[in-house]
Structure 1
């Protein structure tokens, strides 16, 4: 007997097979949405404080600030939007420029209470600010401050399709659940691997190239996002203050491992040799201030110009040329106001870098857009770009230290005064911001500063080989030693940095205060270090990555240097003495 039922076509069979395979995923997605789990976190929620009073809580940063749904009388409600700089990293957020600005305004405008609501978040870009802003405006701010632009180019090397796919999957709860499971599994596997494998210093991953089309598209989207912010504020008749962005132009060199397309191999090798030469010369200039540039350094300037002809668009050549000029002015004690030619040179180097590799700070094209939108839309504009060549204001590539945050606050304060907001300039009282008093009022004591300095020193020492023999890393660790004399950790880290550059005497000097406290050193080693650093028979042994392309602290520390006071067993087996390449005698 034959089967007369019509057979399904191949296309229909494939469709039903796919539907059957996807059915469990759709079921899980529906279940997650009904139960409310694995969903994207809403930016604002209503909670009750300890007294049972209803408050609005902002959920998109780890501090989760709260504020009343209705603004109190006599209060100037100021909302700050942006990434980690706006949040106040690494001191966040009680010492951000927003908090400092609030102090300045309250002292200058008697009778006014400033309610500062920091809505910053690490990694936030302008698209996320534009998405968040209309919802935040429902809570009646009197002023909106936006400091955003450093995160516009993250992941550009992966292409716009990848960026779109990542954002789309982030809204799918099943994908978020799968991601959580994968992260937990990878974390457990990494921990297990760490227990079995001896630590080895690892070179930084190669920098990622970006296309010109993706770079230009990111700029277009950035302008559109600023215009959307302006439109949202205008609709609510709320003043908007935009800010040009500042980054460590003079203290953080461009990526030097990737050349623009078309640069010959021999020109690349020549450029790298010249850059290495000038790095050492700049370090010598900083070591002997007041003597100006030597004929050798003038010759190096000429070599940079020649290499630039052979390797056009290679940002490090322009950066180190400007850095040599700046070092000469510092050494001659002639640097007063920021020279426009130096600022332009450093900006051009940053622009060349951004056109070649994916960068994590705003190139000058971003600031041009900020100025243009502010002018076209009639917005308040605060200028900060010039801070980038002020030595000592930054903790890393783009994050200002406390003094740098104070300078940004002063810039916004001046812009508001010039605009006559919230009162005419004649009603403002003169006030000079005192950073030391601010630190005391906010309990930014030595313990707090010490912990920040250690974390930043570790971050910098792990991330990359910084200019002037890791100048920023050294500075952070020296300040950590000064603010925490009972903690051996920064001394151990500083000694490792010195040894990385062959400075044995300086490493011994850093550890000298701890020679009779070897039990404390051992405790620090057990808590924070891999087997690449060991204390044996009254001597400290180091297994260092002496490759100049490897950051000085790479391979020395256990994953994440959390300040965990619980004693633990160091992972891995002790290394044989033959594996160590540096030694400091503590006896």
Structure 2
């Protein structure tokens, strides 16, 4: 009798799970939703990969809400050479070389320098940095970067921590909670989750269109709290967000045995006061 009771309990537990699994596979089979990889094949040369230019779209169920930022194409071999040196750069617009492009980026300059230093080896320095992102995006990219077997990762990030996508001061955040945002990163590729997002955005569309009009700049679209007071709850939440996300990010690379180089970011702390008259810190992208 007890055996039958446990069998019925297990069946009762599995029924809702199987129901949602069936919905997920049905949505995928019907072509609903999207999964945007960090790296894609080069259409002109399939033995090369490149970062997906529009990878930022993975964070938006509605593509119209995504800021117009892309990763400039830079290529690397799908199969890493045995004697190759492969580095990846992560960060925001400064790391990406904005506004001058890949040649003025950390990846571009380092790639040139290393190729001169090691002319007998295949050198690949790959840029995955792009504007308006912060430590959440760096963390989200990590597993896909690890799959490409880098010899090291270089990180130059921090300027966008408050106002970047999913940041505590951003228009694009998940319930103002770091826990909810980390959960969002895990769920975002599920088609059921994307369906729920579509339904939500359909009801919220008029309000969101008004707050993210196409005439506004990327920074204006992303920024919600333009002035964040020093030592305020929001300010401290941004510090905790950065510290926690970087700890998770470095943990991933450490477990994979990949060295990481982190640079302090350039900032003027001596003679440039906050850009407004109130006692607050202006967080600029």
Instruction: Quote how far apart the aligned CAs of 1:82 are.
Output: 0.8
Counterpart of 1:39 in structure 2 is 34
Structure whose CA Rg is larger: 1
Task: Give the direction of change, closer, same or farther, for the CA distance of 1:41–1:116 in structure 2 (3 Å limit).
Answer: same
Normalising to structure 2: TM-score of the pair?
0.62
The answer on 1:360 being equivalent to 2:284 is yes
Q: Which stretches in structure 1 are left out of the alignment for 5+ residues?
A: 1-26, 194-204, 260-313, 315-352, 362-587
Counterpart of 2:7 in structure 1 is none
Summarize the alignment of residues 323-334 of structure 1 with structure 2, pairs less than 5 Å apart. none
Q: For 1:70, which of 68, 79, 82 is the aligned residue?
A: 79
Q: For 2:92, which of 58, 83, 97 is the aligned residue?
A: 83
Counterpart of 2:194 in structure 1 is 173
On the 8 A contact 2:157/2:265 being kept in 1, the answer is yes
Counterpart of 2:257 in structure 1 is 237
On the 8 A contact 2:153/2:261 being kept in 1, the answer is yes
Q: What is the CA RMSD across the aligned residues, in angstroms?
A: 3.9
Q: Distance in 1 between matches of 2:27 and 2:270?
A: 49
On the 8 A contact 1:87/1:121 being kept in 2, the answer is yes
Task: Give the direction of change, closer, same or farther, for the CA distance of 1:231–1:207 in structure 2 (3 Å limit).
Answer: closer
Q: Deviations over 1:513-571 (max 9, x none)?
A: xxxxxxxxxxxxxxxxxxxxxxxxxxxxxxxxxxxxxxxxxxxxxxxxxxxxxxxxxxx
Question: Between Structure 1 and Structure 2, which shows a larger proportion of helix residues?
Answer: 1
Counterpart of 2:155 in structure 1 is 146
The answer on 1:119 being equivalent to 2:43 is no
On the 8 A contact 1:33/1:173 being kept in 2, the answer is no
Higher relative contact order (CA 8 A, sep 6+): 2
Question: Between Structure 1 and Structure 2, which shows a larger proportion of strand residues?
Answer: 2
Q: Distance in 1 between matches of 2:42 and 2:111?
A: 25
Normalising to structure 1: TM-score of the pair?
0.33
Instruction: Quote how far apart the aligned CAs of 1:136 are.
Output: 0.8
The answer on 1:221 being equivalent to 2:241 is yes
Q: Distance in 1 between matches of 2:169 and 2:209?
A: 24
Specify the SS of the correspondent of 1:244. Answer: coil
Counterpart of 2:14 in structure 1 is none
Task: Give the direction of change, closer, same or farther, for the CA distance of 1:128–1:206 in structure 2 (3 Å limit).
Answer: closer
Question: When the two structures are aligned, how many residues end up with a matched partner?
Answer: 222
Task: Give the direction of change, closer, same or farther, for the CA distance of 1:32–1:186 in structure 2 (3 Å limit).
Answer: farther
